[in-house]
């Protein structure tokens, strides 16, 4: 089946630094990648949608200059949290979609802790 | 945009009993409705999905029903077991691929032995 590899699984960083999260589709071409954020005991909230080779579309209230998304190839999308603050601490998870197959494939998630 | 409401937020059932979770959606363009089970710190796992061209789908102890007119869909788990304890999310999307998935708020299910 379709697999999306997400790294790192856990990261602790200092306030003010940047963190990059990678999602890689291993056996299919991810034409669209969705990035979600999930705070404890809450639902998955969509942050942005990216299509390969074009700029990401951000959901209302999500700062595009703070959460940089790059979808430079059909197998790799990255989310960079810039100038991280403790309130950015959350579970970040990607989900890839391929128009040639039904459904959404989720990465394993990244637990970000900003201290 | 799409808005998905999910109830109840918590559900406690005795082992062997049934559990029912209900969701409503707002966008009539939605036609793909998956259900996910998420354990703490893990990715959501698809447990069943339904498309708008059917009203009901069943897979062993799990069933989903869809009422497109009323814009609601439900998850039914029969003969619950302790390993069914988790958080369950419903979601909706205009189609199964390439379009954003909007999640409900989640239901924390506890199956008591």
Subunit contact B100:A46, Cβ cutoff 8 A: yes
Indicate the SS3 state at residue A52: coil
Model confidence at A14, pLDDT cuts 50, 70, 90, reads: very high
Chain A residues whose CB is inside 8 A of the B46 CB are 103-104
Which tokens belong to A103? 């459904």
DSSP 8-state secondary structure symbol assigned to residue B59:
E
Ranked by mean pLDDT, the top range of A95-99, B9-13, B53-57 is B9-13
Evaluate whether B108 touches B84 at the Cβ level (below 8 Å).
no
DSSP 8-state secondary structure symbol assigned to residue B93:
B
Q: Is the pLDDT of residue A100 over 80?
A: no
Closest residue by Cα to residue B34 from B22, B44, B48: B48
**pLDDT at residue B97 in the model:** 60
Q: How many CB atoms are located within 10 Å of the residue B18 CB?
A: 12
Per-residue H/E/C for A16-78: CCCEEEEEEECCCCCCEEEEEEECCCCCCEEEEEEECCCCCEECCCCCCCCEEEEEEECCEEE
Residues of A with a Cβ under 8 Å from any B Cβ are 31-32, 34, 41-46, 49, 91, 93, 95, 97-104, 106-109, 111
Give A32-70 pLDDT, tens digit per residue: 999 999 999 999 999 999 988 888 999 999 999 999 999
Chain A residues whose CB is inside 8 A of the B32 CB are 102
């Amino acid at each position: 089946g379709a697999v999306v590899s997400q790294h790192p699984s856990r990261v602790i960083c200092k306030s003010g630094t940047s963190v990059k999260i990678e999602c890689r589709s291993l056996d299919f071409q991810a034409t669209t990648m969705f990035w979600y954020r999930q705070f404890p005991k809450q639902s998955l909230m969509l942050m942005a949608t990216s299509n390969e080779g074009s700029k990401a579309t951000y959901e209302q209230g999500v700062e595009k200059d703070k959460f940089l998304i790059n979808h430079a190839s059909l197998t790799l999308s990255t989310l960079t949290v810039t100038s991280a603050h403790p309130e950015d601490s959350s579970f970040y998870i990607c989900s890839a979609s391929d128009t040639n197959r039904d459904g959404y494939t989720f990465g394993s998630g990244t637990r970000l802790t900003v201290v | 945009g799409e808005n998905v409401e999910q109830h109840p937020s918590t559900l406690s059932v005795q082992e062997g009993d049934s559990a029912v979770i209900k969701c409503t959606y707002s966008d009539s363009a939605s036609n793909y409705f998956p259900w996910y089970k998420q354990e703490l710190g893990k990715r959501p796992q698809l447990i069943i999905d339904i498309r708008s061209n059917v009203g009901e789908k069943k897979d062993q102890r799990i069933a989903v029903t869809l009422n497109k007119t009323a814009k609601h869909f439900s998850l039914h788990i029969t003969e619950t077991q302790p390993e069914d304890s988790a958080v369950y999310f419903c979601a909706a999307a205009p189609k199964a691929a390439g379009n954003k998935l909007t999640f409900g708020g989640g239901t924390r299910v506890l199956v008591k032995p």
